[in-house]
Chain A
Amino acid sequence: MNIIRTNRLGKVLNKAEVVSDVNMCIKKGEIYGFLGPNGAGKTTIFKMILNLLKPTSGEIVVFDEVIRQNSYEYLKRIGSLIEYPMFYDDLTAVENLEIHCEYMGYYKKNAIEETLRLVNLVGVNNKKVKEFSLGMKQRLGIARALITKPEILVLDEPINGLDPLGIVEVRQLLKMLSRDYGMTILISSHIISEIELIADRIGVINKGKLVKEFTVEQAKIDHAGYIEVKLKDIDKGSRILDTLVKSRNFKVISDQQIKIYDTEVSVGDITKAFVTNNIEILSITQIDNTLEEYFINLVDGGDIIA
């Protein structure tokens, strides 16, 4: 079941088309990663889902209802963190969360305490938010988004400003929320490796267009890895590979470089074959994850090829 669906969604801002013709579906309970370079239109789409921006064309359906320009009741079921986390800076973390809960109409005892512990923001009770570091604000922003245990969680670049440990914590937290509460999570980032670790499904957006949607699982199979060899004598090398790699699944990239995609042969096999045939190897590398390269190709439209 699709919990969010956009239908030919488009947005013109200051006469520039920042989002065009986006059809995306987010299934209930999944973690959907939204990947794209800065300025691709990720935040704009998120803001349209939250009705902060109104679509110029197309429509958005959330919880099976079309969002109208003046809809707001559905927002009770969505928690969000958009762009830089903003708070009432003169108030403390607890006060900010209290206000949020009251506006959302959510009254559960200990929720604030629990949530602060969940995002690992402890011992900040009497500190005003303006004294917080970016990482702390980011944690508080995530806390605010999830405190009401919403059905949909919209997080725009939530790992910005977090330290490596913080990133791991947030990743585990999101997985837990998805698993234990069945939350549908929409997360955007321009960091490929991070999205890949968190998301079940990824939508790649570039220049306002949804370039591709796929599951992470499938992408990992499709782009399992390759072995890259640099040789002095490429002709002789490829002749040997012809016999060694039965599937012939390899490619001469340049006059020194060959990529072997066949997963059956190992670095050891190749090295052995070249050495026994007296071919000088400049370098040989096993590249495990080509998802990143794949994304870059998607985003750049294949302009950059290694």
Chain B
Amino acid sequence: MEVISLLKLMKMELKKFPVSGYTRGALIAMAAILLFMILLFWTSILEGENILYTQVDCVDMVNILVNDVFLIFAAVMFSNYVIGEYSSGTINILFTYPISRKKIIWSKILLVCSFMVITMIVANVFILTSMHIINNYTNTIPVTTDAGLLSTTALKIITNSIAFSLISTLCLYFGMLKKSKVATIVSSVIIVSIVGSTSNGFSLSSIIFIPLTIAFVGVSLIFFTFRKIEVLDVK
């Protein structure tokens, strides 16, 4: 008996729910974040009062915005890839295939999470590079390009992207409780407002330990949710 690979299953998911729409959405989100940052720059110049004092402030700001926006984005993807199959009833077809149900579900989760990690890294790099180029002309922020700072920034971006894509599984968990798309997306907004918001330059997500913990909780809950999927009734 031929065993269908996880990779093949992910490809099938892409065929059912083309990722092109999400890519377009991601590009728009990136552009929006960049525009927002440019406006911050601009106000800084006009008012003569810097909101973003340092390079690190700027990186943090972009990082937070990307995390927040793309967490909601991931929730939207989950609501289509996973919850959508339940709400439209196609799960009844999907689970009559000679394939392990766990494998099908995990291929979906893996697909969404890896798409999000890549997108978030690309978004950070794209926005920061664009701002760097703009800053070269405007000289709003003093820039240092020492290797140490670059590597910590890179590390920060990567860990945050992984953490926040995994946090999105928590949204999936809430969505799965009632098989509701709305619950999935609303939970992401709530998580963003708690974890991602800043007050006086401090945000819960700035301590990387916190998002990583939430991500761990999310993944554990999802394991728990789908632990018995093979033996439970499909509803």
Interface residues of A (CB under 8 A from B): 13, 47, 50-54, 69-70, 72-76, 78, 80, 82-84, 86-89, 91, 95, 98-100, 102-105, 144
Contact = CB atoms under 8 A, between A and B. Distances in A.
Interface stretch (B96-104, B144-152, B153-161): B96-104
Which secondary structure dominates where chain B touches chain A?
A: loop
Contact of A75 (B12, B88, B98): B98
A9 to B, nearest CB: 15
Q: A54, A73, A103: which has the most chain B beta carbons within 10 Å?
A: A103
A99 B88 contact: no
Given A80-B96, A104-B98, A105-B4, A89 B234 contact: no
B99 A54 contact: no
A217 to B, nearest CB: 32
A69 B230 contact: yes
B90 A70 contact: no
B16 interface: yes
A99 B15 contact: yes
B133 to A, nearest CB: 39
B207 interface: no
A86 B85 CA distance: 10
B47 interface: no
Given A104-B97, A105-B98, A73 B230 contact: no
Given A70-B231, A75-B98, A86 B16 contact: no
B46 interface: no
Contacts of A87: 90, 93
Contacts of A95: 15
B96 A50 contact: yes
A73 B92 CA distance: 16
A52 B233 contact: yes
B49 interface: no
Contact of B232 (A54, A100, A103): A54
Contact of A88 (B4, B90, B92, B232): B90
B203 to A, nearest CB: 38
A144 B15 CA distance: 17
B232 to A, nearest CB: 7
Nearest to B18: A90
B177 interface: no
Contact of A69 (B12, B99, B231): B231
B208 to A, nearest CB: 39
Given A74-B98, A78-B96, A99-B12, 8 more contacts: A13-B233, A69-B230, A72-B98, A75-B96, A86-B89, A88-B17, A99-B16, A104-B97
A75 B89 contact: no
Interface of B: 1-2, 4, 12, 15-17, 88-90, 92-101, 230-234
Given A99-B15, A99-B16, A82 B92 contact: yes
B95 A52 contact: yes
A100 B16 CA distance: 10
Contacts of B234: 47, 52-53
B107 to A, nearest CB: 12
Contacts of A47: 92, 234
A84 B93 CA distance: 11
A225 to B, nearest CB: 42
Contacts of A75: 96-98
B196 to A, nearest CB: 31
Contacts of A99: 12, 15-16
A102 B100 CA distance: 15
Contacts of A78: 96
A102 B231 contact: no
For the complex of A and B, the 5 pairs showing the least CB-CB separation, nearest first, are A76-B98, A69-B231, A70-B230, A103-B97, A86-B89
Contacts of B92: 47, 52, 82-83, 86
B88 A86 contact: yes
A52 B1 CA distance: 22
21 contacts: A47-B92, A50-B96, A51-B95, A51-B96, A72-B97, A72-B99, A72-B230, A73-B1, A75-B98, A82-B92, A82-B96, A84-B89, A86-B90, A86-B92, A86-B93, A87-B93, A99-B12, A99-B15, A99-B16, A100-B93, A102-B15
Nearest to B95: A52
A54 B17 CA distance: 29
Which among B4, B17, B232, B234 has the greatest number of chain A C-beta atoms within 10 A? B234
A54 B231 contact: yes
Contacts of B17: 88
Contact of B99 (A50, A74, A80, A103): A103
